[in-house]
Amino acid sequence: MTSMDIHEILEHLPHRYPILLVDRVLEVVPGERIKALKNVSINEPFFPGHYPHHPVMPGVLIVEALAQAAAILSFKTLGGKPDDKSVYYFVGIDGARFKKPVSPGDQLILEVAIVANKRGIWKFAAKATVDGQLATEAELMCTVRSVE
């Protein structure tokens, strides 16, 4: 079980500002699970337009943060890192449920576990919590594909 700072995260994800949504990995067990965090700041580029009178993190970005944690878990499990010749894609999102709004100042805890990896399709059970309360849960399916 290891943790990762932002420098190591940047080695394991191709994402950059403003779409990089993982600030720290608290623990990762390759082949099993990851626990990461996203500090939600009022300075996020989406808050001025996503309800200026009552800022709420878009649910689709919470799911994206979970997928980024899943991507780190996948690369750590495979012992590799992303390169310019591949892209990590969603192939499915099932059972997404949004239980609690996420607001500026919240610390989003991202927990993702591998359910299966068949023929290059990864399946994950994912949940995001704030202060121990479930904010979002979903089953994610992702794959790595080569690009020209």
pLDDT digit string, tens, across residues 70-79: 999 999 999 9
> Where does the chain show beta strands of DSSP type E?
2-4, 24-29, 33-39, 86-98, 107-118, 121-130, 133-146
CATH number for position 32: 3.10.129.10
**Gap between the Cα atoms of 85 and 88, Å rounded:** 11
Cα Rg of the chain, angstroms? 15
Does the annotation mark 12 as catalytic?
no
Residues 6+ away with beta carbon under 8 Å from 56? 50, 101, 102, 103
Q: What is the pLDDT of residues 85-137, one digit of tens each?
A: 888 899 999 999 999 999 999 999 999 999 999 999 999 999 999 999 999 99
Q: Which helix (H) or strand (E) holds 8?
A: helix 6-12
Q: Residue 50 phi/psi, 5° resolution?
A: -100, 75
Q: Residue 144: pLDDT band by 50, 70, 90 thresholds?
A: confident
Domain count, the chain: 1
Q: What is the pLDDT of residue 137?
A: 98
Name residue, tokens 């779409």: 19
Q: Are 140 and 93 in contact (CB under 8 A)?
A: yes
**This prediction's pTM:** 0.96
Residues of the domain holding 126: 2-146
Identify the active-site residue in 7, 15, 50, 53: 50
User: What is d(CA 79, CA 75) in angstroms, rounded to the nearest whole number?
Assistant: 6
